[in-house]
Amino acid sequence: MNFRLLAATGGFFAAIISSLAIAGAIYPIDRAAILVGSKFDFKVEFDGIVDPASVRVTVNGVDHAQVLGRAATLIGNEDQSGASALVLRDVIISKPGRYEIVASDGKQTMTVAWEVFATGPRKAKNVILFIGDGMTVANRTAARILSKGIREGKYLGKLSFDDMPHMALIGTSGVDSIITDSANSMSAYSTGHKSSVNALGVYASRSKDNLAHPKVETITELIKRQTKMAVGIVSDAEIEDATPAGMFAHTRRRADKEIIAEQLFFSRADVILGGGSAYFTSDKAGGKRKDGNNMIALFKGDGYAYASTGAEMKSAAADPKTTRLLGLFHPADMDGALDRLYLRKGSVEKYPQQPDLTEMTRSALEVLSRNKDGFVLMVEAGLIDKYSHRLDGERSVYDTIMLSNAVQVAKDFAAKRNDTLIIVTPDHTHGMSLVGTIDDEQKGDDMREKVGVYEQAGYPNYPPADANGYPPAVDVSRRLGIFYTNAPDHFETFRPKMDDPFTPAIKDDKGAIVPNEKYASEPGAIAMTGNLPKTGPRAATEGVHTADDGVLTAMGPGAEQFKGFMDNTEVFRAMVNSLGLGQVANAKAGKTIAVKK
């Protein structure tokens, strides 16, 4: 069975059929929700070479060209795969409603249905979307304990996003898997369409060319095509990394970082702050571009102010003439809060002038708020996730505190006005849990005897947090017991990781994943058998994402849309609804047309 059965067969059978190997497909997929006036590529993949005379594709019972404005192009033998495809790029539907697409090659029939939705009038002038990459409930709990303190069961304060009036659980699964990565989960937020692991702004189709898969329009492109608003993209990871790239990029493979840097230039985002400068240059001092181009020069030539240190960023942002700002502060991922402020590990000594995410947020708001039409700003605390992959709970928690500080900057900005929607959410979760405390004063050579649970956990003895909410010492005698549910074989030290990056497992000369012996000599280290495969294509050297729901909090105009359980694509819907980006009145006024080449 190669084709989806007709929708008439019902959800149960459709679900069974769709779990089997399917050669044929229609993109956008069944149950896609599409914003009125947004662009998407339409593609039908047949299960073999078709006879052009027998191909019939209808939308709501009439030939697709009538509804989509133009006939799709038939590709007889796509990528020499032995199968035909129909492709129509840059489709726009300007009327809301249910659209049923039926594609037939004369022998077999596929059906999908789309919901094309409109939005109400604009409620918010600005939207600020904070992504705590991989932020799990334990991140929030541990950050609150460390930052605010807790006594006799009651916290002595709250994180900045704890008191937001609206909250939802977010489902993060993708087209291909219950487990997402940051590429397809961010694409869901920025396009409203589901995608697959490693894919950005496209449906992962049969195409062999990473750049030829069916594209869906990102919120950055929508804004730049339809409005005069500004867009800001801020991350402490590489700016080409999955989450920031999800704001603008279109490729099947998130690893296409050179191409993503080019797509960033063409996105016309106004404020771009982060790491990842290596993919902007070809110079011998660490440039990774192979094409000889200097993208930084290109941005400067296009009118962007450029900053490579925190001080340069602040002075560029303070200049009232600055409306476009590129800041690249590290060739790769930036360093996290614990290293920059206290431990001085990682690459802090080499790049001592990196700004904090809080400062990047402040500078981005300073520049973006010069646009009288409003803005959308995405700020990612990307290292929360990177540290959890390395089973480095302390650093992940310190960066959660940093996210709370960055959100406070946005709250202060929004408090002076009543026009800014603030959303704080993970893109997916990790298998991190806070299970008790680890008390060095307890007797025993086996570190497990020092783990206290229930009443033996008591309370940790971190020193009071500094003015920015960070305890100045993390390696205290009674500390939080943070553990990961999904890990390779590794040496568990039961201590804060003094190395950065901490590498729990490595590959041996036969390619098998083995515990990193470097940590075997730490006092009390225990060889832990992990639950992830050691060999073969499924082998993992580090902790991995989980399908557990993420917790989203929101405040400001439009925040009331967030409640109960929501799919991640509905976050896009709430944002465009708040911004009024899909008003039918505008579509009818000619702002959107049926099909645009």
Enumerate the active-site residues. 182
**Beta carbon nearer to Zn ion, 34 or 513:** 513
Q: How far from the centroid of its chain's Cα atoms is residue 314's Cα?
A: 26
Q: Which residues of 174-213 are buried (b: 16+ CB within 10 A; e: fewer)?
A: bbeeeebbbbbbbbbbbbbbbbbbbbbbbbbbbbeebebb
**Beta carbon nearer to Zn ion, 385 or 392:** 385
Query: What DSSP character marks residue 52?
Result: G
Nearest distance from C-beta of residue 181 to Zn ion, angstroms = 6
**Beta carbon nearer to Zn ion, 359 or 385:** 385
Q: How far from the centroid of its chain's Cα atoms is residue 524's Cα?
A: 37
Nearest distance from C-beta of residue 233 to Zn ion, angstroms = 18
Residue 416: strand, helix, or coil = coil
Using the structure block, give the residue that is written with the tokens 């989806």: 4
**Beta carbon nearer to Zn ion, 99 or 398:** 398
Q: What is the largest CA-CA distance in the chain?
A: 81
**Beta carbon nearer to Zn ion, 488 or 558:** 488
CA distances from 541 to 407, 534, 536 (A): 32, 8, 12
User: In this structure, what token pair is assigned to residue 255?
Assistant: 């690893």
Nearest distance from C-beta of residue 543 to Zn ion, angstroms = 9
Residue 15: strand, helix, or coil = helix
Give one word for 288, left, alpha or beta, with left for phi > 0 and alpha for psi -120 to 50.
alpha
Nearest distance from C-beta of residue 134 to Zn ion, angstroms = 5
Contact positions vs Zn ion (CB under 5 A): 385
**Beta carbon nearer to Zn ion, 236 or 385:** 385
- Which residue is nearest to Zn ion, using beta carbons? 385
SS (H, E, C) 214-231: CEECCHHHHHHHHCCCEE
The 451-452 sheet, strands edge to edge: 451-452, 432-439, 478-484
Amino acid code (one letter) for 293: N
